[in-house]
Every structure is written in structure tokens, then in C-alpha cells.
Amino acid sequence: MSENIKIAIKNLSFYYREKCVINDLSLNIRGNEILCVLGPANSGITTLLRALNRLCDLDAGVSMKGEILLDGKNIRDEDVNVTELRRRVGMVFDVPTPLPMSIYDNIAYGPRLHGNKGRREIDETVESTLRMAALWDDVKDRLELPAMSLSGGQQQRLCMARVLAMNPEVILLDRPCSGLDPISTAKIEESLTELKQEFTIVLAPHNVQQASRVSDRVAFMLMGSLIEEGKNADVFSRPKDQKTSDYITGRFG
Amino acid sequence: MNSRDHERIAKALIWTAALFVLAVLAFILIYILARGLPRLDWEFLTEIPRNMGRSGGVSSTIVGTLMVTSLAVAIAVPFGIGTAFYLAEYTRGGYITRIIRFCAESLAGIPSIVYGLFGFIFFVIFLGLGWSVISGALTLSVMILPTLIRTSEEAIRAVPNIYREVSYSLSATKWQTIIKVVFPSALPGIANGIILSVGRCIAETAAVILTAGSALRMPSSVFSPTRTMAVHFYILAMEGISMENAFGTAALLIILIFLINVVANTFVNRFVAKGVKR
């Protein structure tokens, strides 16, 4: 199990202009696991996720040191194709972000960008990914409606289906359940535990309880530094660091 | 006087202002339509002007207006939208951006008669295009560029940034993001700018009279001289040829602009309501 390393982060430091947001972080992410990156706001978790698919390249004034290896290949190498990287490492944002087009077109967006897939092939992708995201039964009769017409929880599951349609290897989820009701949250968590059979999942949970429910392993970050990482059971029952213990028991954060 | 009275007085003032504006607009419209509409008949629409415009119709000026306007917009739109995308998507407020924006805004402040003079000297005489539809259209296209650039740029900037991030995160390139997400989202705003520009072209006299001329015959190509409806109206009224026909032309102009707005709005609304391009 420990040999199956999908992403290896080595001594990553990350700066917005002068400000250090991630400080010398090293972390291994294993294949087919759910890793929860836990921590209070401003801990650098969003930045970490955005570094993994190089979405941070879009921001001004960014600089970084260290290495991020995806299957042993540094994603910042010159010869890395960024669009292919983002296909392999998909992302779900902290607010539901349907594009202003139909439900169908939202999911077809990724597949249509690459290669001339036929209508039938895209139809199949739309159905299978909506099923994986537990949304098919809700929307199968109204795929042509604007995605904005869905409820918040449905929109977020649509965003998951949209990522799955790119056939990624890693899925990053940045607090995907913030602002969702408990039933929607439960549905998304349920999908996640099924999806880890096929994908590697990095989740920034929206609270400690969610991390304890769905994660295989947990990493705790505070002010840009990795404080502790380990198996779910170890971190939650026997945290090594006092700060971790204080955070998961709710003394701060 | 308590706060409820304040509220009432403020409301009354605002209502008065709005009503006043409405009243002025309604007065102008009713006055022109009342004097112009009786003149409108099939002959007026289909005959070319005779006897300097004292009799006959205005058909050649309708054709001239449509030719000059559509050509001007067709020339200006690609450059205007292209510049707007460059300013909004491809630069981060650098030196060149500021120069382009400064130039565009300076262009916006120039009186149209100056464009007319420029068009006369450059297109009509220097390039030897003569008084023609194409000279008028080129001059007008320069004149409407600032409006097009500014409205389009604002529409593009108003597209939520998260759309771009989502598109990139779904492995789109910058160009794919612009074509598939940013442009469709900005289209209603861009269309609005185009409609404004069309209105300015149709209504323009000073720049057109110096570049497209004031010939009354039916233009046969883009190199023929022509007289637009606004110019025709101006000459009829200014030289006291026929106030009756001047008002008829004015009424027709108003109806034309109204129709263009209705058609364009329907088009845009349908697009927005669908929210989709397949």
C-alpha cells in the first residue's frame, strides 16, 4: 500500500508576492485513497489544491519552490502539457459552479475539448457520469435545461459529474459541501467513498466531522505548515501533536 | 419634519424627474410622428426623390442608410471586439493597454464633424474613394470604434472569473475558454454595444455628408455616392425645400431605429433565455 504513491509533494513552499502561504510542505498522496486536508481558514489548503492542477498559474504574483510529482513526473517541468495535467487532475470548487449552459453541455464540456467524440459516445459519458454522481434520476428528463435551474446540491453533483467526464486520475475537492444541506452532503460523501475505487481523491472537508467520516488518511495544516498526517483512526484517536488534538476537539478553529 | 416626510418628498422629486423626462420624450415623438406619419405612403417608400426632394419618395436614401450603416458596423465590429478581448483577456493593465485605452477614449470625445473632415481628406481625396458608400462607412466605422470597444470590454469584464477558472480546470486552453464560455456570456453586452453603434450610424449627418455625399440617385455599388436619411432630412429642412418631406423622413428614421431595437432585443433575449449555444 505504501508503495502506491500517486502524488508526491516534496518541500513545497508557495508565495503570493512576499507572503508565504505554504511553508516547506512534504506529503505523499496514495492512489485510490481519500486524503482529507484539514485545517482552519487561511491554512493554505486551497492554495495547495490549486497547485496540484496548476490552476494557481492564473493568479498574479505567484512563486513556488519544491517539487510536485504526479506518477513520478514533476508537473512544473517545461515539457508538461498543462491542459493534459488538468484533465488528469480534476477539480470541484467550494461553491457550485455550473457554466451558463445546459446540464448536458456542462458535462460534455471537457470531452468535447479533446478529440472529436461522437454524439453517442458523449451521450454515454453524460449518463454514466451522472449516475456516478447520483444525479441521473433527478435530471434525466431535463438535460437540455440550463444547469443554473438545479438546486445547489444538484449543481455540486453536476460539477462532480463534469469532472468525472474528463476521465481523470485524481479529483481535488475544495470544501465541496460548504453551503449544502445535510442530505446533499450525505449524497456527495456517499459518491466519494464509491469513487475512490477508481480515483485518487484529495478533499478539503468543510469540517472535522466530515474528515472523520470519509477519509482514509488525514493531513492537518495550520498557517501554511503541515502539522501532522496519518491514518484516519490514528489522527482522530491518537493525535501526535497538541495542535492537532486541540483542532479536532474544537478548542480552536 | 420627520423622516417619513423626507421619504415622501424624495419620492416625489424622483417621480417628477422621471415623469419630466418621459414627457419630453413623448412630446418629441408625438410631434414628429404626428407631422411625419401622414406623409408616409407606398410611393414615399418606393420612389426615389424628385425635384431635389420636393416630391417623389425617399427610397434611395433608405437604401443608402442601410448600406452605409451595415458596412460601417461590419467593418468596425471585428476590430472593436478583437480590441476589447485583447484589453480584457490578454493584458494585465500594462503600458500598451493604457495607450490603447487612452486612444480609444480620445476618439470617443472627438466631434463627428472632425471625423467627417478626416474622412473627406483621407478616404475621399487621398485614397481616391470619392464621395461614396465605402468612404462614409469607413469614416463611421472609425467613429463607432470607441463605443464598441468600451461596451464590449465592460461586457467581457463582467463575466464572472470563476467561469474562466472552471473552464481551465476542465482542461480548456485560453482560446477555448474565450470562445466557449467568455464570449457567449458577454454576448448580450456586446450586442448592446453593436445596437448603440448602429443607432449612431443611422443618426449621423455631419460625418456622412462630407464622405458619402448627397447624391439622390439609387446607389448601385459601395463606390456610388449616396445620401442617407439623416442627411436628406437635414438638407430638406436646412434649405427649406420641403418641411413636409423632412418630417416624413424623420418619422421613418424613428420607426427604423425602433424596429432595429425591437429585433435586436428579441434576438438577444432569446439567446439569454436559452443560456446555451450548442
Question: Scanning every residue of chain B, which has its alpha carbon at the shortest distance from the alpha carbon of A103?
Answer: B276
Predicted TM-score (pTM) of the model is 0.84
Q: State the pLDDT at residue B273.
A: 54
- Whether A3 has a pLDDT exceeding 80, the answer reads no
Residues of B in contact with A91 (CB under 8 A): 169
Residues B119 and B199 in one domain: yes
Number of domains in chain B: 2
Query: Which pLDDT score, from 0 to 100, does residue B137 have?
Result: 96
Q: Give percent of chain B above pLDDT 90.
A: 65
CATH number of the domain where residue A215 is located: 3.40.50.300
Please report the pLDDT score of residue A55 as a whole number.
92
Q: How confident is the model at residue B278 (pLDDT cuts 50, 70, 90)?
A: very low
Query: pLDDT class for A117, splitting at 50, 70, 90?
Result: confident
- Give the Cβ contact number of residue A77 at 10 Å: 9
Q: Confirm whether A117 is domain-assigned.
A: no
CB A109 within 8 A of CB A158: no
The answer to whether residue B12 scores a pLDDT higher than 60 is yes
CB contact under 8 A, B165 and A55: yes
Between CA A136 and CA A131 the distance in angstroms is: 5
C-alpha span between B253 and B242 (Å, rounded): 17
Residue B39 has pLDDT above 50, yes or no: yes
Specify the higher pLDDT residue, B93 or B277. Answer: B93
With a pLDDT cut of 70, the percent of chain A lying above it is 98
B191 shares a domain with B78: yes
Q: What pLDDT was estimated at residue A104?
A: 93
Query: What mean pLDDT is predicted for residues B209-235?
Result: 92
Residue B276 has pLDDT above 60, yes or no: no
> pLDDT tens-digit profile of A64-94?
899 999 998 899 888 999 999 999 999 999 9
A132-151 tens-digit pLDDT: 888 899 898 999 999 999 99
Mean pLDDT of A165-175: 92
Same domain flag for B33 and B85: no
Helix%, strand%, coil% for chain A, nearest 5: 40, 25, 35
Could B275 and A110 be called an inter-chain contact, meaning their C-beta atoms sit closer than 8 Å?
no
pLDDT of residue A215: 92
- Residues of chain B with C-beta less than 8 angstroms from the C-beta of A86: 168-171
Quick check: A156 pLDDT over 60? yes
Residues B122 and B260 reside in one and the same domain: yes
Note the pLDDT of residue A171.
94
Mean pLDDT over B33-52 rounds to: 89
Assess whether B76 and B146 both reside in one domain: yes
Confidence of residue A1 (pLDDT cuts 50, 70, 90): very low
- Among B32, B29, B63, residue whose Cα is nearest residue B45: B63
Q: What is the pLDDT of residues B114-172, one digit of tens each?
A: 999 999 999 999 999 999 999 999 999 999 999 999 999 999 999 999 999 999 999 99
Please tell me whether residues B80 and B138 are part of one structural domain: yes
Complex ipTM value: 0.91
d(C-alpha B72, C-alpha B141), whole Å:
5
**Do B34 and B71 belong together in one domain?**
no
Residue B51 pLDDT greater than 90, yes or no: no
Nearest CA in chain A to B276: A101
Contact B171 A166 (CB under 8 A): yes
Is the residue at A101 inside a domain?
A: no
Question: Between B189 and A3, whose confidence is greater?
Answer: B189
Are residues B138 and B78 part of one domain?
yes
| pLDDT at A160 (0 to 100) | 92
Dmax over Cα atoms in chain A, in whole Å? 56
On the question of pLDDT at B53 being above 90, the answer is no
Here the CATH number for the domain that contains residue B112 is 1.10.3720.10
From the list B163, B168, B276, the residue facing A146 with the nearest CB is B276
Using a CB-CB cut-off of 8 Å, the residues of chain B touching A117 are none
Is residue A110, in this structure, part of any structural domain at all? no
B10 and B46 share one domain: no
Q: Which domain holds residue A232?
A: 5-96+168-248
How many other CB atoms are there within 10 angstroms of residue B162's CB atom?
Answer: 13
Instruction: Tell me what the mean pLDDT of segment A193-219 comes to.
Output: 91
Res. A169: pLDDT tops 50: yes
Q: For testing the chain A interface, which of B170, B181, B182, B278 should be mutated: the one with the most A CBs within 10 Å? A: B170
Beta bridge mates, A35: A202, A217
SS3 B48: coil
Average pLDDT over residues B179-196: 91
> Which of A109, A158, A159, A170 to mutate: most B Cβ within 10 Å?
A109
Say how far apart CA B87 and CA B97 lie, in whole Å: 6
| pLDDT at position A57 | 87
Provide, as residue numbers in chain B, all residues whose Cβ is less than 8 Å from the Cβ of A148: 275
Which residues form the domain of B23? 3-38
Residues 6+ apart with CB under 8 A from B258: none
In a domain, A92, yes or no: yes
Number of domains present in the structure of chain A: 1
Distance from CA of B263 to the nearest CA of A (A): 23
CA–CA distances in Å: residue B72 to residues A167, A180, B76, B82, B143: 47, 51, 6, 16, 9
Contact A122, A111 (CB under 8 A): yes
Q: Is the domain of B34 the same as that of B169?
A: no
Residue A242 lies in a domain: yes
pLDDT score of B277: 40
Domain co-membership, B28 together with B57 = no
A209 lies in a domain?
A: yes
Closest-CA residue of B relative to A89 is B169
- Indicate whether B155 and B28 sit together in one domain: no
Q: Whole-angstrom distance between the N-terminal and C-terminal Cα of chain B? A: 60
